[in-house]
Amino acid sequence: MAKVTLDQGAFKQSADSVNRVISMVITIIIIVVVLMVVWKIYKAAKKGSEILGQQAGTAIISAQTGIPKERLSFIDSIANQIATHVTKIRFTNIVVSVNENAVIAALNQLLSAGEAKYCSDIFRQNTGLSLLQDVVKGSFNETEMKRVKPEILKGLN
């Protein structure tokens, strides 16, 4: 029988290349884990700064408009609610339909002309439409216009 001998040099070279691959894989895993941690820290910091910015912005808007901070988020929700009851053609400012009863109910929740103006501004930012021209004057008839509080109508823009 023939005797088989192992070449120690080839075995060592093969082990070195396996060790190199394993160390590269471990390095890549560590880099990925570090990047994931950095990304999570970045997202948390960004969210925290957005909250602080929103609180500062709310305080500034409250001081400028005279509307209490607590009412500002309520008025934002009213503007968003009105937007859900207005259907327009996508990528245009052409109003197709308006749920007049829902819009009137939402508008009558506002307490002053200042709140109506703020609501109009938020509505315009969100939709690109004028609450007064495109929705109220564009869709309401005389009877529906009379159902909205007069001071609210004066504040819309």
Measured in degrees and rounded to the nearest 5, phi and psi for residue 148 equal -90, 135
58-88 pLDDT, tens digit each: 778 777 888 888 889 899 999 999 999 999 8
Enumerate residues 6+ apart whose C-beta is below 8 A from 98.
Answer: 85, 86, 87, 135, 138, 139, 140
Average pLDDT (11-15) is 70
Give the model's pLDDT for residue 5.
Answer: 58
42-60 pLDDT, tens digit each: 888 888 777 777 777 777 8
On the question of pLDDT at 37 being above 80, the answer is: yes
On the question of pLDDT at 6 being above 60, the answer is: no
Give the model's pLDDT for residue 103.
Answer: 94
Average pLDDT (10-23) is 79
110-129 pLDDT, tens digit each: 999 999 999 999 999 999 99
On the question of pLDDT at 152 being above 90, the answer is: yes
On the question of pLDDT at 25 being above 60, the answer is: yes
Give the model's pLDDT for residue 98.
Answer: 92
pTM, rounded to two decimals? 0.64
